[in-house]
């Protein structure tokens, strides 16, 4: 009888290890899934319809940029560049939101020196003004956090 007790090996240590590994595997899958769900965001770049045209209602060379529809552009997130065609874009940060119905009427280029103020109705600078003359200009608006272009148009100003 003494020999029976010494040779009695239970399978419970092996089952315990397998059960522990299974629990750890299931918990790690749950933690990974939750962290993946929390890490992904539903944020998408704004989709906006923005038009630009030569503004013929004044005697000077200027343009009208109008937000026709879609998402509003958040202050500080949208940047604008107005430069003669052939020049590299020179973006300036906005100070106000740009929502449906808003319009910018400006004759100021963004490739000058000084501090620029970009609002939903004008672009101004305290530096030397790069004013538009009749010609062809490249107008771009990007939403910087998304690196997304919402306006990229070449326009002829009269």
What is the tens place of the pLDDT at every residue in 120-129?
Answer: 999 999 988 8
**Confidence band of 2 (pLDDT split at 50, 70, 90):** low
Dihedral angle, C-alpha 46, 144, 83, 47, nearest 10 °:
-10
In this predicted structure, the answer to whether residue 20 has a pLDDT above a threshold of 90 is yes
pTM for the full model? 0.73
**Confidence band of 41 (pLDDT split at 50, 70, 90):** low
In this predicted structure, the answer to whether residue 158 has a pLDDT above a threshold of 90 is no
Q: What angle do CA 74, 98, 123 make, to 5 degrees?
A: 110
Bigger pLDDT: 61 vs 88: 88
Bigger pLDDT: 60 vs 72: 72
103, β-bridge pairs: 66
Q: Average pLDDT for residues 28-52, to the nearest whole number?
A: 86
Rounded to an integer, what distance in angstroms lies between the CA atom of residue 132 and that of residue 59? Answer: 12
Question: Is the distance from CB of 108 to CB of 130 less than 8 angstroms?
Answer: yes
Report pLDDT for 137.
97
Report pLDDT for 128.
87
**Confidence band of 13 (pLDDT split at 50, 70, 90):** confident
Choose among 123, 61, 68, 44: nearest CA to 91: 123
In this predicted structure, the answer to whether residue 30 has a pLDDT above a threshold of 70 is yes
Q: Which residue has the tokens 């937000």?
A: 67
Give the tens place of pLDDT for each residue, 93-146: 999 999 999 999 999 999 988 999 999 999 999 988 888 999 999 999 999 988
- Poorest-pLDDT segment among 48-52, 56-60, 75-79: 56-60
């Amino acid at each position: 009888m003494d020999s029976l007790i010494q040779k009695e090996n239970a399978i419970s240590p092996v089952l315990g290890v397998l059960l522990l590994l299974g629990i750890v595997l299931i918990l790690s899958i749950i933690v990974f899934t939750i962290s993946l769900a929390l890490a992904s965001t539903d944020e998408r770049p704004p989709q906006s319809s923005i038009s630009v045209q030569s503004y013929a209602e004044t005697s000077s060379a200027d343009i009208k940029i109008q937000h026709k529809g879609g998402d509003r552009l958040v202050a500080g997130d949208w940047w604008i560049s107005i430069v003669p065609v052939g020049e590299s874009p020179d973006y300036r940060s906005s100070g106000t939101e740009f929502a449906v119905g808003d319009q910018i009427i400006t004759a100021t280029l963004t490739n000058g020196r000084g501090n620029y103020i970009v609002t939903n109705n004008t672009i101004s600078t305290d530096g030397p003004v790069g004013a538009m003359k009749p010609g062809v200009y490249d107008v771009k608006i990007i939403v910087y956090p998304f690196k997304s272009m919402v306006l990229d148009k070449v326009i002829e100003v009269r």
